[in-house]
Amino acid sequence: MDSSNFNLVCTLVVLVCMMAPSWGEQSLRPKALVVPVKKDAATLQYIAKINQRTPLVPVNLVLDLGGQFLWLDCDRRHYASTTYRPARCHSAQCSLAGSSACGSCFSAPRPGCNNNTCSLTPDNTVTHTATSGELGQDVVTVQSSNGFNPGRNVTVSRFLFTCAPRFLLQGLANGASGMAGLGRTKISLPSQFSSAFSFPRKFAVCLSSYSNGVAFFGDGPYVFLPDVDASKLFTFTPLFINPVSTASAYSRGDASTEYFIGVKSIRINGNVVPINTTLLSIDGNGAGGTKISTVEPYTVLEGSIFKAVTEAFMKEMNLTRVASVAPFEVCFSSKNVGSTRMGVAVPIIELVLQNKSTAWMIFGANSMVMVSDEVMCLGFVNGGENPRTSIVIGGYQMEDNLLQFDLAASRLGFSSLLFGMRTTCANFNFTSSA
Ligand SMILES: *[C@@H]1O[C@H](CO)[C@@H](O)[C@H](O)[C@H]1NC(C)=O
Ligand SMILES: *[C@@H]1O[C@H](CO)[C@@H](O)[C@H](O)[C@H]1NC(C)=O
Ligand SMILES: *[C@@H]1O[C@H](CO)[C@@H](O)[C@H](O)[C@H]1NC(C)=O
Ligand SMILES: *[C@@H]1O[C@H](CO)[C@@H](O)[C@H](O)[C@H]1NC(C)=O
Ligand SMILES: *[C@@H]1O[C@H](CO)[C@@H](O)[C@H](O)[C@H]1NC(C)=O
Ligand SMILES: *[C@@H]1O[C@H](CO)[C@@H](O)[C@H](O)[C@H]1NC(C)=O
């Protein structure tokens, strides 16, 4: 749908473009896009930076892997742009976004307040607050990439997003002006970028704890210094759709836009942890199962799974247990703990997937959180009784693992901890080669 005018012209006049030396194949169509993603120390949210509007301004957005779309604070004092266009009722944009609502606004016209526009329900998935907001379009600029470096900046001239009132920002990191939804919708960031630039419906995220991690839109290579193409490391597992929405507000019949995987069992040091496996599948009400979330800072386990996992983990640990440090329950003295390339030497936790030889391995770097110089805690949180989803894999467990979401093939590729290849998610070379 939305492609830059430049792209459109080039697609229509392929011959002319090919003849013009500065308009080579490469500039015609970026292979992929790259966006820096930085962890906010106060909220533990992951912040993606894009450029938007006319004139262009940098916009910080909380990355929401399963989120429905881009939503932004359009308050008059914070949103100025000469290229903002509201989506008119019953337009192609409204139908692409799945909105049949048609609204009016009874104050002075501005982005977020126009008559005869359709609306969506922006969802702050951190605080679980949702409200209504106008669907609009504006310029979005991000850097293209060959997988090694950022290249020239590319523009989507009519990128669809939802305007939210300012109060919806409550609970988001300082300086964030909205959320970037990468979920399963036709107007999520991956969908709009893929259709604007005709690249495969794939994207990848590599979160870092301390520095710039990276999100890629489009296919690999995804190269980290010193020359490790992490897309070569993938193990694949199917992605599942939860037929019942997990959003804060939704209509009957809406499916969840989040990404679920099929964890079948959990092993610790190779031993299967006894858990109620019924909790691992998604039931008729959309409860249960395992999803991946960038808004949960740590993996959340349903109460009985949490108990079984922590008991099994403690049985395998020979270190002295110390008082718990919230939000964690199981903490140890970190004196005398060994260290390995994969983090501190602790029992390996495995999320076993479609068969016994396919598992997401969680090593010390992703399982233990150093809460002080002397204390480290198992970085899992007790989700209590009857949470909606039994296992929510959170940001800390994803850090320094490259995850690729292949929407066409409906599968997840995961690299495992990149420390094994002597690199990290902070090692993408952000020096532009353009
Ligand atoms: C929308 O239309 C109403 C009624 O015609 C008018 O009072 C109002 O000012 C308009 N709002 C905007 C934002 O144009
Ligand atoms: C692309 O945009 C970024 C962010 O605004 C800017 O820092 C960079 O210089 C631009 N790169 C090119 C090649 O124009
Ligand atoms: C396992 O979990 C399911 C779903 O919550 C529950 O209905 C069932 O009673 C549980 N089974 C056992 C043995 O606890
Ligand atoms: C714990 O101690 C037992 C016996 O003392 C030993 O076999 C095992 O390797 C130790 N495990 C760890 C994780 O150090
Ligand atoms: C397990 O699954 C992987 C990935 O789908 C597949 O390549 C492999 O052959 C399977 N192994 C067994 C033992 O079925
Ligand atoms: C990063 O990329 C730039 C531009 O291609 C290159 O000049 C530089 O040597 C690279 N850095 C490293 C550490 O390889």
**Which one of 185, 201, 220 terminates a domain?**
220
Residues with CB under 6 A from ligand 1: 104-106, 109, 113-115
Q: How far is the CA of 431 from the centre of ligand 6 (A)?
A: 6
Whether residues 206 and 309 share a domain: the answer is no
**pLDDT on residue 24:** 37
Whether residues 263 and 401 share a domain: the answer is yes
> Does 2 reside within a domain?
no
CA 214, 220, 225, 230 torsion-angle sign = positive
Whether residues 66 and 144 share a domain: the answer is yes
CATH code, domain with 347: 2.40.70.10
Q: How far is the CA of 92 from the centre of ligand 1 (A)?
A: 23
> Does 396 reside within a domain?
yes
Please enumerate in sequence order all residues whose Cβ is within 8 A of that of 409, keeping only pairs 6 or more positions apart, or say none: none
Distance of CA 87 to the CA centre of its chain: 26
Q: How far is the CA of 353 from the centre of ligand 3 (A)?
A: 21
- 296: containing domain: 229-427
Whether residues 285 and 325 share a domain: the answer is yes
Which amino acid is present at 159?
F
Ligand 2 atom at shortest distance from the alpha carbon of 143: 1
> Does 67 reside within a domain?
yes
Read off the tokens for 373: 């110089």
Q: Which one of the ligands is nearest to 274 CA? A: 3
> pTM to 2 decimals?
0.92
Ligand 1 atom at shortest distance from the alpha carbon of 109: 13
Render the burial of 300-334: b for 16+ CB within 10 Å, e for the rest. bbbebbbebbbebbbeebebeebeeeeebebbbeb
**pLDDT on residue 9:** 36
Count the domains in the chain.
Answer: 2
pLDDT in tens, the chain (434 residues): 344 433 433 333 333 333 333 333 344 689 999 999 999 999 999 999 999 999 999 999 999 999 999 999 998 788 999 999 999 999 999 999 999 889 999 999 999 999 999 999 999 999 999 999 999 999 999 999 999 999 999 999 999 999 999 999 999 999 999 999 999 999 999 999 999 999 999 999 999 998 899 999 999 999 999 999 999 999 999 999 999 999 998 988 899 999 999 999 999 999 999 999 999 999 999 999 999 999 999 999 999 999 999 999 999 998 889 999 999 999 999 998 999 999 999 999 999 999 999 999 999 999 999 999 999 999 999 999 999 999 999 999 999 999 999 999 999 999 999 999 999 999 999 999 87
Whether residues 171 and 251 share a domain: the answer is no
Contact between 140 and 52 under an 8 Å Cβ cutoff? The reply is: yes
- Residue 402 CA to residue 414 CA, distance in Å, equals 6
Q: Which residue from 143, 155, 431 has its CB within 8 A of the most atoms of ligand 2, so it is best to mutate?
A: 143
> Does 345 reside within a domain?
yes
Please enumerate in sequence order all residues whose Cβ is within 8 A of that of 12, keeping only pairs 6 or more positions apart, or say none: none
**pLDDT on residue 252:** 85
